[in-house]
Amino acid sequence: MFFPGGKCYYREEGGRMFSENIQEKLKEAMFHAGELVLSARYDDSPVHATQQLGIEVKPGSVNFVTAYDKAVQALLEDEFSQILPEARFLAEEDDDSGADNGIVNARDSLSGFVFVIDPIDGTTNFIKDYRLSTISAGLLKDGEPVWGAVLQPYSGEYFHAARGCGAFLGDKQIYASNVPLARSLIVFGTSPYYRQTLGRKSMAAAEELLMRATDLRRSGSAAYDLCTLAAGRADGFFELSLSPWDYAAGGLILKEAGGIVTNAFGEPLPFGRGISSSVVAGNSKNYPDILEIVGNIMTK
Ligand code: IPD
Ligand code: CA
Ligand code: CA
């Protein structure tokens, strides 16, 4: 496995590899970000969210950003750049205006190290105080994921993986399940910001999977969904359109847990500014069926 810092990694007893404290420092930054999310205050007023969370509307249907999304992203960019100064950033709330400021813009290459950050995955849940959102950060080396972490601040669950080292929830190694579709719990996303074009297709795929699997769940955080597969709590996932920051960390964590994750055509997930992709995930038994169901509906 490759990780920055020269002689930076060693093999612990049990075969797990680390890079000289880099992953520990990244983890500390993730938990600082978690504290920021947990510091949000809500009251009973119908206008609490707009006033207290600093909500703004983004392009697309029902797509919002809050002052907390921006503050968490600023904190991670600040702390991560102290840990890995050569890294650039591809983060959801970036101002990708073309300025040469360490931000990956649309036509930039992904050479070197790039952090791919979703400061709050599950902003709608956050606005509603639903208490299921995640902070998701992946690290690419020359366009390939090498590290990823997803923190669910409300539960303290910290999912993480480095390429070639397996996937972990805290200190415990986690594994994807190995059940067929008929015994699968399927989690999925509705692509809410693209509901005009993808809403009915999403529900058609969900309907077909409901008839063939055990049951369905919808959490509101794609990064968390991928981690539930990595931990063997759920068995299959699909969403018809996601962005790299939704899947950079969760995708690596799931692969390192032994799962499979691709787009709806069985191809590797793409990275870059302005890119979006369908995502299909599962295990070696159910993935071919989920891919067929979702792929057929995508191409109709
Ligand atoms: C969203 C969440 C949601 C998924 C959406 C994503 P956001 O991310 O992951 O589960 O269905 O497609 O955009 O906007 O809350 O960061
Ligand atoms: Ca997201
Ligand atoms: Ca987000």
Q: Whose CA is nearest to atom 12 of ligand 1?
A: 191
Ligand 1, residues at Cβ distance < 6 Å: 118, 121-124, 189-192, 220-222, 239, 242, 246
Tokens for 139?
């690290």
124 and 233 inside one domain: no
- Closest-lying ligand to the alpha carbon of 92? 3
Q: Dump pLDDT digits (tens) for 157-180.
A: 999 999 888 999 999 999 999 999
d(CA 281, CA 164): 19
Provide the CATH number for the domain around residue 257.
Answer: 3.40.190.80
Structural domain count of the chain: 2
Residue whose CA is at the smallest distance from ligand 1 atom 11: 189
Residue 2, domain member (yes or no): no
Q: Whose CA is nearest to atom 5 of ligand 1?
A: 191
Q: Where a domain ends, among 155, 174, 193?
A: 174
CA–CA gap between residue 255 and residue 167 (Å, rounded): 8
Residue 4: is its pLDDT beyond 70?
A: no
Q: Which ligand is nearest to the CA of 193?
A: 1
**Domain termination site, one of 174, 198, 213:** 174
Q: Point out the ligand 1 atom lying closest to the alpha carbon of residue 245.
A: 16
Least confident piece of the model among 78-87, 98-107, 147-156, 168-177:
98-107
Among the residue ranges 6-20, 158-172, 173-187, 214-228, the one predicted with the least confidence is 6-20
Q: In angstroms, what is the span from residue 81 Cα to ligand 3's centroid?
A: 20
Q: Is the pLDDT score of 225 beyond 80?
A: yes
Give the domain extent around 260.
Answer: 181-298
For residue 35, how many other CB atoms are within 10 A of its CB? 11
What residues pack around ion ligand 2 (CB closer than 5 A)? 118, 121, 246
Q: Is residue 265 part of a domain?
A: yes
In a shared domain, residues 30 and 145: yes
| pLDDT digits 0-9 by tens, 29-67 | 999 999 999 998 877 655 566 667 888 877 766 677 899
> And the tokens for 162?
């480095």
> Both 52 and 144 in a single domain?
yes
Q: Which residue has the higher pLDDT, 54 or 77?
A: 77
Q: Say yes or no: 140 and 287 in one domain.
A: no
Q: Is the pLDDT of residue 14 over 80?
A: no
pLDDT per residue as tens digits for the range 93-111: 987 665 567 888 887 889 9
238 shares a domain with 96: no
Q: Note the pTM of the prediction, 2 decimals.
A: 0.92
Do 168 and 83 share a structural domain? yes
Same domain, 21 and 151: yes
Tell me, yes or no, whether 3 lies in a domain.
Answer: no
Pairing, β 64-65 against β 88-91? unpaired
CB 172 within 8 A of CB 150: no
Residue 1 within a domain: no
Residue with CA at minimum distance from ligand 1 atom 15:
122
As a whole number of angstroms, the distance between CA 224 and CA 146 comes to 19
Q: Which of 131, 136, 221, 229 to mutate to test the pocket of ligand 1 (most atoms within 8 A of CB)?
A: 221
| Last residue within a domain, chosen from 136, 152, 174 | 174
Average pLDDT over residues 257-261: 98
- Residue 208 to residue 200: CA distance in whole angstroms: 12
Amino acid 12: pLDDT: 40
Ligand nearest to the CA of 66: 3
Cβ atoms of 106 and 274 within 8 Å: the answer is yes
The CATH number linked to 39 is: 3.30.540.10
Residue 118 Cα: closest atom of ligand 1: 16
- Residue 6: is its pLDDT beyond 70? no
Say if residue 185 is in the same domain as residue 118: no
